[in-house]
Chains A and B, each alone.
Chain A
Amino acid sequence: MLDTDVIETSPPVLRRTSLYDVHTRLSAKMVAFAGYDMPVQYPDGIIAEHLHTRAQAGMFDVSHMGQLKLFGRAAETGLERIVSADLTSLRLGQTRYSLLLNPDGGIIDDVMITRYDDHLYMVINASRKDVDIPLIMEAVQSAGGAHEDAVQIMSDHALIALQGPQAGAVLQNFAPQSDRLMFMQSAVMQVAGVPAIVTRCGYTGEDGFELSVANKHALALAEALLGHAAVAPVGLGARDSLRLEAGLCLYGNDIDETTTPIEADLGFAIGKRRRLARDFLGADRILRQLEDGVDRLRVGLMIFGRRPARQGANILNGSGEIIGQVTSGGYSPTLERPIAMGYVAREYGQDGLKLGIDVRGKTIDAQVTPTPFVPQRYRRRNVQ
């Protein structure tokens, strides 16, 4: 009865992050993900890890993600040609969510870009490294940058996420300066005695941080964080259910090269200056969609009953016609019911609309619902 991908042990060719020994010590269940041997869950299980992150703080190894530094004007000019962001308005220590686009306006990746004094720091998806890095190199070179000097791939760095309502209080113990960071701000500081790039961001909808540290320091930092009573280790399983509740896209599921930012409801990632200048890749198609509307759009779906709708399930209208597909779906530990997101034909996108989803031949009831499903609790200046 078991799906082979659930119990398959990872082949030895997989790469290990610098926190591999922590995962082993904690008896994590390891799975192959984007070429890495990663913890999908620890013995407490996905639901417990998920709820712990919403209640206190979870620590995630996200070292499989790609980290880069881009130095110099040419690198910035080159990068701007292939992303949706207005980088000129990005202030020192500010982080921005952006999209790498193809000439048709399809999404090559969703990324985070932070401005530091002499470089841009970027975090890209693990599964897209092989695509993104050559593209970035080429863009930098075409803007006149010598890519070997301008682009530094930080494979010598680990990335640790600390997420949850207690994340701020916990990190203050190890890095008092972290308290001054607001959501989407970043600074280099000592954390538990080691230098780290600390960015107040995440993928759970909670307040929290991503900590980039040299591989040689990662294990000690992880153990220090885990030593705090409020912190529990959290695997990729709960990372997925947390981001789904937060309404955040997973590259490869909810967005890919066939979806545009407007279809994906990510129009906010296109800088205003870029919009006015119409100078980003796919601008013609994307701006036309902004004016005329899209054929399909990404929506949240609240599911009635206990049966989860998974990726690939067809979404049906009242007449039983297929009008879209689920791109992410699963059980919401916070809401104690299944939730999903997917694309539906434009006329079915309004909130509150009742739709069906075909799950193994049975039609389950769903309702178009605004996301996030669970309120985001980022730390912003005007809050508290």
Chain B
Amino acid sequence: MRKFTSDHEWVDIDGDIATIGITDYAQKALGDVVFVELPSIGATFAQKDEAGVVESVKAASEVYAPITGEVTDVNAALEDTPDLVNSAAEEGGWFFKMKLSDLSELDGLMDDAAYAELIAELD
């Protein structure tokens, strides 16, 4: 199941593990990504806490934790190939995984249709 935030992050839910990245719309808006600052494994975040930073040629932008939980894994490939965020934003360019602590938070996220509607309004 894939959900989206209004901050242009995607969240894939598999059991109690969420994989998080930024959407294709977001990577296009950012332009060439040159650096990604990932959280540490074991770090805990509340929903909407700043969990990382993505830097394009132009600017630095925060990445927020879409849910409350603990970081269980990070995408080490982004360290040497941050441009994976451009070439595969919603696949190989994932940022980090979190262990969910409050399943009800997922209800506040958008589904495919709602997110498509949001970006249609922005364009």
A residues near B (Cβ < 8 Å) are 1-3, 5-7, 29, 40-41, 45-47, 237, 241, 306-308, 310, 330-331, 333, 338, 360
Q: Is the CB of A307 within 8 A of B37?
A: yes
Chain A residues whose C-beta falls within 8 Å of the C-beta of B34 in the assembled complex: 306, 308, 331, 338
| Contact call A5/B59, Cβ cutoff below 8 A | yes
**How far is B57's CA from A45's CA once the two chains are assembled, in angstroms?**
10
Inter-chain contact B64/A1, CB cutoff 8 Å: yes
Inside 8 A of A2's CB, which chain B residues have their CB? 7-8, 26, 29-30, 61
Which interface residue of A2, A306, A330, A338 has the most chain B CB atoms within 10 A? A2
The 5 closest A-B CB pairs, nearest first, are A331-B34, A46-B57, A7-B29, A47-B32, A1-B7
Residue of A nearest to B80 (CB): A306
Smallest CB separation, B35 vs chain A (Å): 5
The verdict on B122 contacting chain A, using a C-beta distance below 8 Å, is yes
Known interface pairs A45-B31, A46-B31, A306-B82. Does A333 touch B59 (Cβ–Cβ under 8 Å)? no
Question: How distant is A247 from chain B, measured CB to nearest CB, in Å?
Answer: 18
Among residues of A, the one whose C-beta sits closest to the C-beta of B37 is A307
Residue B11, interface by CB 8 Å: no
**From residue B42, how far is it (CB to closest CB) to chain A in Å?**
18
Which single residue of chain A is at the shortest CB-CB distance from B54? Answer: A1
Question: Are B57 and A1 in contact (CB-based, < 8 A)?
Answer: no
* Bound form: Cα–Cα A241–B26 in Å: 22
For A241, list chain B residues within 8 Å (CB): 57
- The distance in angstroms between the C-alpha atoms of A1 and B30, with both chains bound, is 10
Contact residues on B (Cβ < 8 Å of other chain), bracket = 20 to 34
CA separation between A326 and B63, bound complex, in Å? 24
Asked if B59 contacts A6 (CB within 8 A), the reply is yes
Chain A residues in 8 Å Cβ range of B98: none
Q: Verify if B60 is at the interface (C-beta below 8 Å from A).
A: yes
Check B62–A6 contact: CB distance below 8 A: no
Task: Compute how far the CA of A148 lies from the CA of B60 in the bound complex, rounded to whole angstroms.
Answer: 46
CB neighbours (8 Å) of A330 from chain B are: 57-58
Please report the C-alpha to C-alpha distance between residue A109 and residue B8 in the assembled complex, in whole angstroms: 40
Chain B residue contacts of A3, Cβ below 8 A: 59-61
Interface bits B72-101 vs A (CB < 8 Å: 1, else 0): 000000010010000000000000000000
Q: Cα distance A48–B54 when bound, in Å?
A: 19
Q: Hey, which chain A residues are within 8 Å of B70, CB to CB?
A: none
A225–B30 Cα distance when bound, in Å, is: 28
Q: Is the CB of B35 within 8 A of A306?
A: yes
Least Cβ–Cβ distance between B96 and chain A, in angstroms: 13
Q: Find chain B residues with CB under 8 A from A333 CB.
A: 57
Shortest distance from the beta carbon of A40 to any chain B beta carbon, whole Å: 7
Q: What are the residues of chain B within 8 A of A40 when measuring CB–CB? A: 58
Of B9, B29, B58, B64, the residue contacting A46 (CB under 8 A) is: B58
Tell me, in angstroms, the Cα distance from A3 to B56 when the chains sit together: 11
A1 CB contact (under 8 Å) in B9, B32, B79: B9
Tell which of B53, B56, B59 touches A360, judged by Cβ atoms closer than 8 Å.
B53
- Which residues of B are found within 8 Å of A29, using beta-carbon distances? 31
